[in-house]
Amino acid sequence: MSRRKPVVVVVEPETPGNVGTIARAMKNFGLSELKLVNPPALRPDGEAYGFAGHAREDVLPNAEEVTFDEVVENYHTVGFTAITNEDSRRHVRFPFSTPRELKERLRTVDAPTALVFGREGRGLNNDELERLDEVCSIPASAEYPVLNLGQAATVALYELRDLTVEETQLPDVELTRAEESEIKRFYDFFDEFLDASGYNERKRAKTNRLVRRLVGRAHPTDREINTLLGVFRRATDQLRERRAVVDESDRRDGRR
């Protein structure tokens, strides 16, 4: 990934634990440069390092204290804020992008980029937002759209991960649908199960069709279909054994 990754800026964080949470999210999603504007003390034995996980080894110790002016002067800036009811008549917090929309646009930005998060209680104020290049907001419930600072950063960095995490770092998991012959065997065993259970004959065709549609949408793997085969085979055998016992008991009663 040749393009320079964004830096993360936190403006006047009040709680060391949130700084640690953000550092951990950065480590999770491939970012390493953390810059702090007027931060609290971050002691190695304190809350920030306790919350940072493995980010305590590199992200947090290398965090740089900067001023807001330095961020604005040196980076293409994206401010993160809660969604408000403002519209195009008030351009402080509008227009805004969602993190997913921001990801696509940042692909075309050939400049150092800073993702700027505000304070826990008040976020970024209007004067600060006016100086930033873009505004991004995370879609949330209209009843309570305000996220905790650490949560907001984690969600945003997750959505931007395609820009920051090499594709080869992601697990390559390929699920292969079971052979049609094995799926056909399952359908046959299921029909035998219905027969052994004394299922209503008038509903049998409809039930078999329902199961076909269900399995057809699920695209089961070899292991999944073999497990189902084993379950229904055993259930069918047990039903037949019990029916045989009942029939034998009925015959004995009839001879008495």
- Enter the pTM of the model: 0.68
Residue 1 inside a domain? The answer is no
Q: Which two tokens stand for residue 197?
A: 């259970």
Location of structure tokens 């697990």: 171
24 lies in the same domain as 75:
yes
User: Model confidence over 180-193: pLDDT tens digits?
Assistant: 889 899 999 899 99
User: Which 3 state secondary structure label does DSSP give 114?
Assistant: strand
Query: Considering its fold, how many domains does the chain have in total?
Result: 2
- Sheet hosting strand 113-117, strand order edge to edge: 64-66, 34-37, 7-11, 113-117, 76-80, 134-136
Residue 23 inside a domain? The answer is yes
Count Cα neighbours of 132 within 13 Å in the Cβ-side half-sphere. Answer: 30
Predicted local distance difference test score (pLDDT) of residue 199: 92
Predicted local distance difference test score (pLDDT) of residue 43: 93
95 lies in the same domain as 197:
no
Residue 203 one-letter amino acid: K
CB 15 within 8 A of CB 42: no
**Nearest to residue 62, comparing CAs of 37, 42, 39, 33?**
33
Domain coverage including residue 56: 7-169
Predicted local distance difference test score (pLDDT) of residue 158: 95
101 lies in the same domain as 187:
no
CATH number (domain holding residue 77): 3.40.1280.10
User: Model confidence over 139-191: pLDDT tens digits?
Assistant: 888 888 788 899 999 999 999 998 898 764 545 556 688 888 898 999 998 99
Predicted local distance difference test score (pLDDT) of residue 194: 92
Domain end point (choices 135, 150, 169):
169
Count Cα neighbours of 140 within 13 Å in the Cβ-side half-sphere. Answer: 17
The burial class, CB within 10 Å (0-12 / 13-18 / 19+), for 155 is middle
Instruction: With a cut of 70, list the residues of the chain below it in pLDDT.
Output: 1-3, 83-95, 167-175, 250, 253-256
